[in-house]
Amino acid sequence: MRGLDETLANNQISALPSSLAAMHNLTKLNLSHNRIVHIPTCVYSMKGLVFLHLACNRLETIADQIQDLVNLKILIVEGNSIHTLPKTLCFLESLELLNVDFNALQSVPVEMYLLSRLGRLACHPLDKGLHIIHNPLLKPIQEVLQGGLSALYNYLKPT
């Protein structure tokens, strides 16, 4: 059975009905350019999601339940006000693109090195990898990033 796609972008949505949690076959969900402050709880029940686009909303956090989206390959949350990333995000082993550009991140979880499929720091919007450069990252994270993603992982990885 082919997965379903849903685009609800460019509206003034601030919430979703809990009944959408039953959309287990949904593979792509675009909620960008809305007024969402918290990722709607029903989204974490959409186990088939491979692509989740929440750019340009009003997000300040990502809940620990993000780890429930085990098939997620692409997570785009650029242009929000996210201050921290939950360490549970680092358990999404399928994640190939994580875009957290233009947020308020000062640091990243120590477990970030577990996201081995990200592969590299990305600059072009369509590139796979970690998009993180436009954040007020604290030193030494900012300086470590100049060495690329492997330098960041080596810095974060416990010795």
pLDDT, one tens digit per residue, over 88-132 is: 999 999 999 999 999 999 989 989 989 999 988 887 777 899 999
Beta strand 74-76 with 26-30 is unpaired
Judge contact between 87 and 110, C-beta under 8 A.
yes
The answer to which of 64-68, 82-86, 121-125 has the lowest mean pLDDT is: 121-125
Answer whether residue 5 shows pLDDT above 80.
Answer: no
3-class DSSP state of 153: helix
Q: Please state the pTM of the whole predicted model.
A: 0.90
pLDDT tens-place string over residues 17-54:
899 999 989 999 999 999 999 999 999 999 999 999 99
Tell me the CATH number at 135: 3.80.10.10
Residue 159's pLDDT band (cuts 50, 70, 90)? low
Host domain of residue 18: 5-156
Which pLDDT does position 4 carry in this prediction?
54
Q: How many domains does the chain have?
A: 1
Region 130-159: what's the mean pLDDT?
Answer: 81
Residue of 58, 22, 60, 16 lying closest to 41 (CA atoms): 16
* Burial class of 68 by CB neighbour count within 10 A (0 to 12, 13 to 18, 19+): middle
Query: What value does the CA radius of gyration of the chain take, rounded to a whole number of Å?
Result: 15
Answer whether residue 12 shows pLDDT above 70.
Answer: yes
Judge contact between 21 and 40, C-beta under 8 A.
no
Torsion angles phi and psi, residue 141, rounded to 5: -55, -45
Which pLDDT does position 1 carry in this prediction?
35
The answer to which of 50-59, 72-81, 112-121, 148-157 has the lowest mean pLDDT is: 148-157
